[in-house]
Structure 1
Amino acid sequence: MKSAVETLNPTRVRLTVEVPFEELKDSLDAAYKKINQQVTVPGFRKGKIPARVIDQRFGRGAVLEEAVNDALPKFYQSAVEEAELNVLGQPEVDITDLKDDELLSFTAEVDVRPEIEIPDYSGIEVEVDATEVSEEDVDQAVEQLRERFASTNVVERAAAEGDVVKVDLEAKVDGEVLEDGVAQGVDYTIGSGELLDGIDDAVTGLEAGGSATFTSELKGGSAAGQEAEVTVTVETVSARELPELDDEFAQLASEFDTLEEMREDSRKRLAEQKKYDQATQAQEKVLDALLEVTEVPVPEKLLQDEVETRKHNLVNHQLGQLGLDLGSYLKMQDKSEEDFEAELKEQAEKGIRTQFVLDELVSTEKLNVSQEELTEHLIRRAQSSGMAPDQFAQTVMQEGQVPMLVGEVARGKALATVVEAVTVKDTNGEVLDMSDEEDEAEEATEAVEEATEAAAGTTGTDAKNESSEKSEG
């Protein structure tokens, strides 16, 4: 077999392959055997029909077509390996010549991972939020805890902001009550903004048994995005009573004996959260800065596929579960379809560029993933998916997604390596030592996932593993 590579652009090549006919022998034998099992010829036992009879009865062309279909993926894969190409996606194959007993030649155009030169990134400098915890921060955290332990008591008066009302709702569109537009006994805290726009004004001032009608855009259901006439009837009005801020409350709401001890614990928790948020912010900003200084060509076909995957996942998974279609979603977001497509393309392109750059760093920095690191990442992914680690691991194994998880961890380590090498300052001007961050690589992995994941599942350049497997089969 002879093969040659022509570079069409930085992300696409054309392979030209010539195969001597004798190298098709195994595929020809397999083609005759397959046809033998599928056809019947009088005078011959099934599976024992001579090749010359198959040629006479069914045509040599049918045999050649079967043989070529069997052989092409193998010859294509051999040519890819010989040229040491890092292909992405499926090739576009064109048979240019097929001469019986002489020659098979074909071309295959396919996207390839571009060669990327990572510039010196040590000069990158980013600024992140400082991590001081103020008294106001602690007050807010304690107040949120206090809200959780609030009690409610039914009162005989008009509803006011902060009250909890139990209401019945009925929504009409064009004068007709919607099948899914009736709800009864719904608890709602006035001012929380958790239900329909306009309901706060409608129920404020109503006593038990009172009703009001208002117009609002429905957020979900069969008429999501449409204007509806909503009638709300108040069943009960309850006032919320907050517990006193004292040691007794601390003992009720925490494992501490005094309010001061509980406040100090809140301060520590807030400091830890701010430290985590600071590290995440640093990773995101460093990644953006690295992408800005690195030239990364993006294969057009890969980009189109990624955009379609993200759109499919959003429409069929996320929006579908909410009972929304794309039109309703865009109306709620106040976006045009053109704006949506442009935003989706920008996100997809960033995801692909991120994978290319970090994979190149994994290679140049010779980063490896240990079994312990992979296990820790698997446990975290299991927790985020709501599955038990053993069950998640079994699913990952069955679906052949271990290489994908390894890639995620490796890219996280690559980003962590860059973060350690650049200058990170907080808003007070203090230079931070990011190498001291615990679980830094795992946190960086989360930042990478945020940039590279599609709406419901990682796509993009991980498809290169699939294309390799498919071309072999």
Structure 2
Amino acid sequence: MSEQCSGGTTIHTLMKSTIEPAEGNKVKVIVQIDDAELEPSVAKAWREIAKEVRLPGFRPGKAPRKLLEQQFGSEYARSEALKQAVPEFYSQAVIEADVDVIAAPELEITEGEESGDVTFEAVVETRPLVQVAGYDGLRVEVPRASATQEEVDEQIDRMRGQYGELTEVERVAADSDYVTIDISGTQNGEEVEGLSVEDYLYLVGSGMVATEFDEHLVGAQAGDELDFDADHPDPEEEKVQFHLVVKNVKERVLPELTDEWVAETTEFESVQELRTDTQEGLSGAREQEARIAVRTNIGVELAKLVDIEAPDSLVNSEVQARLQNLAYQLQGRGIRIEDYLQMTGRDPEAFTAELKESSEEAVKVDLALRAVVLAEGIEVSEDEMDEEILSLIGEAELSLEEAREELRNGGQLSAVRSDLAKRKALEWLVERSEVVDTDGVVLPPELLALPEEEHSDHDHDHAGHDHD
């Protein structure tokens, strides 16, 4: 017999299942179903058939089952019922046994295809268990968590640059200088539209027209004439022959950094105040980068300890998840993935290869974190589960118990517990890893902790759902 649970899911009480190991990281799920359990599915199949057939004297969907059985044979509906019911029975079996499947099963009905009790077998790939020797002695490097005086100077110079003046100089051009040039672009002696202009102010080193411009303009001076070939801005066009006439060279002269200038152009009263604020702003950004890099780089080092190839099924799932996430983000801006690749100048094949590589690493990080959970006996309390489930509920009108039951019946309760355990394993690793910056300085403990608001919404770049 079958029972209906609170979430609407059918629980089959006359179903028995056993799990046997199979080749590699696969298992064989053997399910036995009492004939009575299949009857609701058979009845449903007949109702669907009745909607499709036309029998004299009966409206669509009203033909009695016995008449349909005489017309088509009882095997027809049973076959349709098995197609629908077997996957459902399989799902219930793996959820009840908490089998961590990562791919679609190979299903085979071994008994009862035509009548009587039904037995079927499902061979399915499960998430492999790995061992990661050396995880408790990781050493990771992250960006420096404070700004240097040079970086502060560069930031202030960029600010000063907004108020700089261009002054003509009598010397050869260097990077960051401006040159006034006449440009003539031709192909086979014919002027190219849009590539010929007079008195064009060009920033040396910007690569705005073509990289060859910078190569020839560095070292040029007023009066020089330059001839060279360069790629057309449109990659499908032939090369362009350029002729440049250098009219003058200018450098940007920055205003003197004084208390007076600072008071006039900023919210601060002195150079020291400006430097202090700039230092704090840059260092704050550096600290945040370091915090993020701690966990990302621990994951990278952890993945290196996994000595098996990432299963293709997990990698493919991760690739698809990342593509869907990217597509969703771009859709909000009205951009297709194809347009995004073109706008960013990325080759589709190279993009796909990068996506696969990062997905393989994410899968290995996931497997390694699961290994740490098992090795260290990391557990998730029921209070932690309740807190996580409440955060998942959000604004939905569900009680905690209703949400827990829906997760359990959908086979996702184990996934929630596993994600929490992996999160705790990552923090366990953070506490025990040696984390240094690019200068070899050990990061202070306060920079290893997550900001409080991130504890509940920490988003790991890891593959990992317990039931795919």
Asked if these proteins are the same fold (TM beyond 0.5), I'd say yes
1:250 aligned residue: 262
Give per-residue Cα distances to partners, 1:343-370, cap 9 Å, x unaligned.
5544222111222333566782427485
1: distance between equivalents of 2:352 and 2:101? 27
Q: Secondary structure at the match of 2:104?
A: strand
1: distance between equivalents of 2:79 and 2:347? 48
Map 1:106-255 → 2, pairs under 5 A: 106-116=120-130, 121-128=135-142, 131=145, 133-151=147-165, 161=175, 162-163=177-178, 189-201=203-215, 214-216=229-231, 218=233, 223=236, 228-229=239-240, 240-255=252-267
Give per-residue Cα distances to partners, 1:202-238, cap 9 Å, x unaligned.
6676989x996632275xx673xx7632658899988
Give per-residue Cα distances to partners, 1:100-157, cap 9 Å, x unaligned.
22133332232222335566744333455655644323222221222244356899x9
2:106 paired with 1:92: yes
With 227-236 and 78-87 compared, the bigger mean Cα shift is at: 227-236
1:263 aligned residue: 275
1:11 aligned residue: 25
1: distance between equivalents of 2:104 and 2:201? 54
Structure 1 residue 311, shift from structure 2 partner: 7.8
Map 1:256-295 → 2, pairs under 5 A: 256-293=268-305
2: distance between equivalents of 1:188 and 1:409? 55
Structure 1 residue 294, shift from structure 2 partner: 5.1
Structure 1 residue 262, shift from structure 2 partner: 0.8
1: distance between equivalents of 2:266 and 2:361? 44
Q: Secondary structure at the match of 1:99?
A: coil
Paired-residue identity, %: 27
Map 1:400-419 → 2, pairs under 5 A: 414-419=425-430
Structure 2, unaligned runs of 5 or more: 1-14, 328-334, 395-409
Map 1:22-61 → 2, pairs under 5 A: 22-61=36-75
2: distance between equivalents of 1:19 and 1:169? 82
- RMSD of Structure 2 on Structure 1 (CA): 5.1
2:434 paired with 1:434: no
Contact 1:117 1:294 in 2 (8 A): yes
Query: Could you say if the C-alpha distance between residues 2 and 171 of structure 1 is closer, same or farther in structure 2, counting changes exceeding 3 Å?
Result: farther
Normalised to the residue count of structure 1, the TM-score between the two structures is 0.68
Structure 1 residue 85, shift from structure 2 partner: 0.5
Contact 1:419 1:434 in 2 (8 A): no
> Which amino acid counterpart does residue 110 of structure 1 have in structure 2?
V
> Which amino acid counterpart does residue 348 of structure 1 have in structure 2?
S
2: distance between equivalents of 1:373 and 1:235? 68
Contact 2:306 2:364 in 1 (8 A): no
Query: Could you say if the C-alpha distance between residues 373 and 81 of structure 1 is closer, same or farther in structure 2, counting changes exceeding 3 Å?
Result: closer
Give per-residue Cα distances to partners, 1:8-39, cap 9 Å, x unaligned.
35532222323232221000111111111222
Structure showing the higher helix proportion among its residues? 1
2:431 aligned residue: 420
Structure 1 residue 420, shift from structure 2 partner: 1.5
> Which amino acid counterpart does residue 212 of structure 2 have in structure 1?
G
2:464 paired with 1:461: yes
Query: Could you say if the C-alpha distance between residues 183 and 222 of structure 1 is closer, same or farther in structure 2, counting changes exceeding 3 Å?
Result: farther
2:362 aligned residue: 351
1: distance between equivalents of 2:419 and 2:195? 45
Structure 1, unaligned runs of 5 or more: 331-336, 379-399, 453-459, 468-473
Give the length in aligned residue pairs.
417
Structure 1 residue 279, shift from structure 2 partner: 3.3
1: distance between equivalents of 2:197 and 2:427? 52
Query: Could you say if the C-alpha distance between residues 428 and 410 of structure 1 is closer, same or farther in structure 2, counting changes exceeding 3 Å?
Result: same
> Which amino acid counterpart does residue 461 of structure 1 have in structure 2?
G
Contact 2:134 2:305 in 1 (8 A): no
Query: Could you say if the C-alpha distance between residues 346 and 429 of structure 1 is closer, same or farther in structure 2, counting changes exceeding 3 Å?
Result: closer
Q: Secondary structure at the match of 1:13?
A: strand
Normalised to the residue count of structure 2, the TM-score between the two structures is 0.68
2: distance between equivalents of 1:256 and 1:302? 54
Give per-residue Cα distances to partners, 1:149-201, cap 9 Å, x unaligned.
4356899x99875217699897979x9979xx879999752212355321324
1: distance between equivalents of 2:458 and 2:212? 38
Structure 1 residue 419, shift from structure 2 partner: 0.8
1: distance between equivalents of 2:133 and 2:25? 20
Structure 1 residue 271, shift from structure 2 partner: 2.9
> Which amino acid counterpart does residue 287 of structure 2 have in structure 1?
K
1:329 aligned residue: 347
